[in-house]
Amino acid sequence: AILQGPQLRFWEWLSTYYLCSVGEIFKAVVPAGFHSERAQVYSPKTDTFVRLTPACATLDSINEAFELVKKAPKQEHLLLSFIQSAAIDDARIPENGEVRKKELLEKSNSNAAVLSALIEKGILETYEKPASRLQKYEQEIQPLNALNVFQLQAYTGIKQSLLEKDVCLLHGITSSGKTEIYTHLISETIKNGRQALYLLPEIALTTQITGRLQRFFGNQLGVYHSKINNNERVEIWNNLLSKDACKIILGVRSSIFLPFGDLGLIIVDEEHEPSYKQQDPSPRYHARNAAILLATMHGAKVVLGSATPSIESFYNARNGKYGYVRLDKRFEETELPLIIPVNTKELKRKKKMKTLFSPLLIEKMQETLQSGEQILLFQNRRGFAPSLTCRTCDWTPQCRFCDISLTYHKQSGRLTCHYCGRTYPLPHACPECEGELKPIGFGTEKVEEEITALFPGVPVERMDTDTARTKKSLEDIIFRFESGATRILIGTQMISKGLDFENVSLVAILNADGLMNFPDFRAYERAYQLMSQVAGRAGRRKRQGEVILQTSHPEHPLIQAVLQQDYETMYNLQMEERELFHYPPFYRIITINLKHRREDILSKIAVDFAGLLRAKLGDRVIGPDKPVVARIQNIYIRKIVLKIENKASLHALRVILEETKNRILSQPDYKYLLIQYDVDPV
Ligand code: ADP
Ligand code: ZN
Ligand code: ZN
């Protein structure tokens, strides 16, 4: 069997809730080597070993063997080295008198030709043995860090609340030691003989946390992220199915699908992170919500942790569905950073913004560099400029296949579509009127260019999906910053996610407005979370850090909430709107994306589809509308949104959706329609 425990039941539930098939889940989560029709995909890793041939496996014959090679000193040396390594002595030949070929050759400073000679003489032979790809931890295991008094209170609070409830929200400010509390909870779980799953939103975090957990748990820990290859995936899977399965899995969202035998605890760290939601392909599940269900099936408990909880989770804590524990002191009682707003609109009016950096920020950067500390600059756009436009006629380069303007990447000298990935050469002038093209807005590349001009010779790096394409390059960037080699790190939201840097005393949010202006009901919640999280990277350990927040609306209520580091105000403001406009947590949202190659046909289908739904669901149906990007890869998109009461029957809804779909697809003109559901979109 490749499944165990409640796995199949879990998948069935997911398929009902997320309106997909169990087959889609199976395809997405079971590693390729397990799909029976492609069984050859998995190739076990093997190691070559060396042992005595059966004919040569007695003490007498070993003596004879030495006679045979006494005129060949290299062979004699290698044989002797083998005898030593295999722990063969005068008295006995151990049953497993074998040595890894690579080690033997290295240790004896010999080579394959010498070994071949010994094989030809019938003395030694080689053979293959399966080897594990899972990394081994070989250092000494350390005891857990003792919790300080606040952490201990939180820990006891969590345990207390989990006596009655299945889920507890740990609302702990950045650097309060949530991770330390998790390690204690995990340790207790595995002492009771059960397994723990530690979920992280992002691969960027796994390296730091892996290091921290391995010190305490050694090889009881298995790591599962999106960049491990299929062979490693198969081995973790096999390991979990075996009788000495890993006790702890640290992983990204897809690890909820692993074959756990007996989970006792699931930690969802940074539970507010949108990357817990799978976007494409189906199943479009939310790993936090799915984890809570998985836990129920195992009789396990869940701890959600965040400094800026999602509105949904905080709501569930408020209404008593989840336990709630707060941790308001940073470890070593460092103050939360001081956030200083800077009004960029005013500065621009007075012509004092000569670069992307306000005079105050430049001054602070100089001070920080002088004192030997580090700087983080946050700008949530990659590339040089999000778009170009003609000074004369306002023409803007667009992707030929998507309805979106192209991002200018100066280093590659090209225009890139961030939806389909196509790149285009940079036009010298406007193709419509020959006018001059100017960049609109700015991204991390431009920040880097200006920083380099401002601080020549200071080591600067950029962390975004362009520079951190692989896990290795990402780890290198993090390592160089941790080690102090890089002094200024510029990044997108990648730098906001729970990374723990000790020497950062200054953080800047270069353009807060850009975070807030999204046509999405979660835009303010998300902006609050991003800004607080980024700010939280300042002044961990040691002393209070500073954050410069550049905005053209310092008086905006959301900016005010960020400045006061006042989560509840943000929550209350958002809750009013959510209730008024029928959004989560009061209502459940389901987006239906309709896709077709022909826009004229799609427009008609979308109206019909929405009409059929409206006949059954009334004003719970919104749309059809054109989404912000209404064409991707030459496929047109229309969007219908359902706002459904939380208590409504999912089964009844599913039936209505099925019927509607069948009626639409039965019309011959409509047959090439693609329908995608997104339940609880983020
Ligand atoms: P959070 O997860 O809440 O952001 P961390 O667990 O990363 O906080 O803690 C912040 C820093 O303080 C880390 O470097 C961590 O090792 C250290 N720390 C926190 N609590 C303790 C403790 N009880 N003993 C030793 N170090 C601690
Ligand atoms: Zn023009
Ligand atoms: Zn495109």
- Report, as an integer, the average pLDDT of 561-577: 96
pLDDT at 46: 76
- Token pair recorded at residue 471: 């896990």
Handedness of CA 326, 331, 335, 338 (dihedral sign): negative
Structure tokens at 635: 């496929």
Helix (H, G, I), strand (E, B) or coil at 383: coil
Q: Which residue has the higher pLDDT, 44 or 614?
A: 614
Ramachandran angles phi, psi of 466, nearest 5°: -80, -40
Mind listing the pLDDT tens digit for each residue in 623-655? 999 998 999 999 999 999 999 999 888 889 999
| Tokens 């305490």 found at | 216
Q: Does position 41 have pLDDT exceeding 60, yes or no?
A: no
Is 538 within 8 Å of 337 (Cβ atoms)?
yes
Give SS3 for 197: strand
Q: How far apart are CA 460 and CA 488, in angstroms?
A: 5
Distance of CA 653 to the CA centre of its chain: 32
Residue 147 Cα, ligand 1 centroid: separation in angstroms? 9
Q: Determine the atom of ligand 1 nearest the C-alpha atom of 179.
A: 6
Give the per-residue SS3 of 143-189. CCCCCCHHHHHHHHHHHHHHHHCCEEEEEECCCCCHHHHHHHHHHHH
Q: What is the pLDDT of residue 133?
A: 62
CA of 105 to the centre of ligand 1 (A): 44
> How far is residue 53's CA from residue 352's CA, in Å, rounded to a whole number?
83
Q: Which two tokens stand for residue 171?
A: 């609302």
Q: For residue range 591-632, list pLDDT tens digits in order.
A: 999 999 999 999 999 999 999 999 999 999 999 999 989 999
From 186, 500, 502, give the residue whose CB has the most ligand 1 atoms within 8 Å, as the site to mutate. 500
* Mean local confidence (pLDDT), 254-267: 95
Reported confidence tier of residue 90, pLDDT bands at 50, 70, 90: low
Query: Exposed, middle or buried, 671 (CB in 10 Å: 0-12/13-18/19+)?
Result: exposed
Q: Please give the DSSP secondary-structure letter assigned to residue 627.
A: -
Q: How confident is the model at residue 98 (pLDDT cuts 50, 70, 90)?
A: confident
pLDDT band at 542 (very low <50, low <70, confident <90, very high): low
Given a cut of 80, whether residue 219 has pLDDT beyond it is yes
The reported pLDDT for the residue numbered 39 is 46
CB 51 within 8 A of CB 139: no
Please enumerate in sequence order all residues whose Cβ is within 8 A of that of 120, keeping only pairs 6 or more positions apart, or say none: none
pLDDT bracket for residue 186 (50, 70, 90): very high
Q: What is the mean pLDDT of residues 275-286?
A: 93
**Integer CA distances (angstroms), 46 to 43, 49, 100, 399, in order:** 9, 9, 11, 47
- The answer on pLDDT for 42 being more than 80 is no
Partners of 277 in the β-ladder:
286
For residue 406, report the distance from its CA to the centre of ligand 2, in Å: 16
Band the pLDDT of 250: cuts 50, 70, 90.
Answer: very high
Question: What would the pLDDT profile of 289-315 be if each residue is shown by its tens digit?
Answer: 999 999 999 999 999 999 999 999 999
Q: Looking at residue 28, what is its pLDDT?
A: 84
Ligand nearest to the CA of 432: 2
What is the model's pLDDT at position 227? Answer: 76
For 499-518, what is the mean pLDDT?
91
Ligand number, closest to the Cα atom of 143: 1
pLDDT exceeds cutoff 90 at 55: no
Average pLDDT in the 333-355 region?
93
User: Residue 616 has what pLDDT?
Assistant: 96
pLDDT at 277 exceeding the cut of 90: yes
Pairing of strands 437-440, 504-509: unpaired
Atom of ligand 1 nearest to the CA of 148: 23
* pLDDT digits 0-9 by tens, 381-427: 999 999 999 999 999 999 999 999 999 999 899 999 998 899 999 99
Identify the residue whose tokens are 């975070």. 515
Asked, as a colleague might, if the bond just before 585 is cis with ω within 30 of 0, I would say: yes
Give the residue, by CA position, lying nearest to ligand 1 atom 9. 177
Q: Mean pLDDT of all residues in the chain?
A: 91
The pLDDT, as a whole number, for residue 585 is 96
Buried-state track 149-162, b at ≥16 Cβ within 10 A, e below 16: ebbeebbebbbebb
| Among the listed residues 494, 489, 549, the one whose alpha carbon sits nearest the alpha carbon of residue 516 | 549
Which pLDDT value is given to residue 208?
81
Q: Which residue has the tokens 């905080």?
A: 314
Angstrom CA distances, 182 to 201, 271, 498, 668, stand at 16, 13, 14, 56
Distance 656 CA to ligand 2 centre (A): 50
- State the pairing for strand pair 221-224/46-52: unpaired
